[in-house]
Amino acid sequence: MTPGVGPLGATPGADHSTDPYLPAHGNGGYRVLHYDLDLDYRVTTNRLAGKAVVTARAVQSLSRFSLDLGTFRVQGVRVDGRSAKFTHRAGKLRIKPERPVAYGTTFTIDVRYAGTPVPVSGRWGDIGWDELTDGALVASQPNGAPSWFPCDDRPGAKATFLVTLTAPAPYTVVVTGDLVAQRRGSGTRTWVYERNEPTAPYLMSVQIGRYDLVDLGANQRAAVPHRLRAVFAHDFGRQGQMMTVLERLLGPYPFREYVVVVTDDDLDDPIEAQGMAVFGRNHLDGRRTHERLAAHELAHQWFGNSLTVADWRQIWLNEGFATYAEWLWSAESGGPSADVHAARWHAHLATLPRRVVIADPGVDRMFDPTVYKRGALTLHALRTKVGDATFFALLRSWVAEHRHGTVTTDDFREHARRFAPVDGLLTAWLDRPELPALPVFGL
């Protein structure tokens, strides 16, 4: 074997993830700067044809590299305009360019592909591009992005996007990003969306359905089936107030707009995307039963989307913070206070036989409710210890200083210690399986 070259001449590390929880997703050797996706989708046959131009920078010399891509037929690959050899199996598109890519070089990868998009199946069910009764949705957390485009599928691998999608004319297409153009064809409409903020592949989403577009005021809008508009207007009637509250507590909303999509199908859970949240029709009941979920998904725009975890070990930084935002909204909107929520959930967690280290819960427990609730309890314990003025100053500066970046638990520890000596508290709550007692204010 040639020194410094792996099997089949592969560049060492060029097709391996750095995420310990999902080692099959993500790639090494380069950093994606931009995705330009030109897609054509036929609803009745569930067929997607795509051209992806990926602009990347080599962080080592590359004789080969890879992208994550699902079960499509790859029709051709070009690197810097030259045809490249490739293999595609088991979710990896492995590419050998005609000429090696030198360290530090910015290069383009042009991939043409087509087929039936299917979600990625795994321990969390089917993730990614999925058919609706009449349309399609994309919900990619944590590993569904390759179900519709070739990518470096890691949460910390953020890039900008331009997405052009052509679909049958009766359908509305909503993509995470700012709508910059729309044109009509023969029985089709083409929608062009631009996402200029650095975005993780899993946070890119496409929603296709027979939707009415509803203005929610300020920087918010919704895509809702016509028959659900009245019940939506009631259940999301406080959306503007919710945005105002979270901006006051967390800092300015980090994107140009926020889009709520309600599908005409049931969904197990709502899901966030960059500048978007997707709900099922079952989350509307005319009684605002699921309003806490609306607060949770809106909070993810700060925690998870603007501030994105470097890898999936850090998931409490998404889910614990969004859960705590539910409690903050409850208190602000006339419901139980955060103290009441914290006491209730602490009592419940104390009855559970299994414990979890939320700073590193393990892949099997990434989405365990304990991570969500104990993560929120960690923040409440911190707030109780340092007081409201210090806590919310800490939170707002955390959001501002890491805007559109990637974060880790150690980053949060370092940030918190600038405001108060809380290393012991964070160690107890984040690194040890035993459930600590809730602290008393000021002690």
Active site residue 297: yes
Beta strand 258-262 pairing with 276-279: parallel
Both structure tokens of 147: 């179900």
Beta strand 125-132 pairing with 120-122: antiparallel
The answer on whether 290 is annotated among ligand-binding residues is no
Q: Give 219's DSSP letter.
A: T
Residue 423's identity, in one-letter code, is: D
Residue 229's identity, in one-letter code, is: R
The answer on whether 380 is annotated among ligand-binding residues is no
Please state the length of the chain: 443
d(CA 249, CA 283) in angstroms, rounded, equals 26
Instruction: Give the three-class secondary structure for 229.
Output: helix
Catalytic residue among 197, 272, 291, 297: 297
Catalytic residue among 35, 253, 324, 372: 372
Active site residue 326: no
Tell whether the torsion through CA atoms of 381, 385, 389 and 393 is positive or negative.
negative
d(CA 335, CA 100) in angstroms, rounded, equals 61
The answer on whether 341 is annotated among ligand-binding residues is no
Beta bridge partner(s), residue 277? 260, 272
Q: Give 109's DSSP letter.
A: E
Q: Which residues are annotated binding-site positions for Zn(2+)?
A: 296, 300, 319
Q: Which residues are annotated binding-site positions?
A: 296, 300, 319
> Which residues are the active-site residues?
297, 372
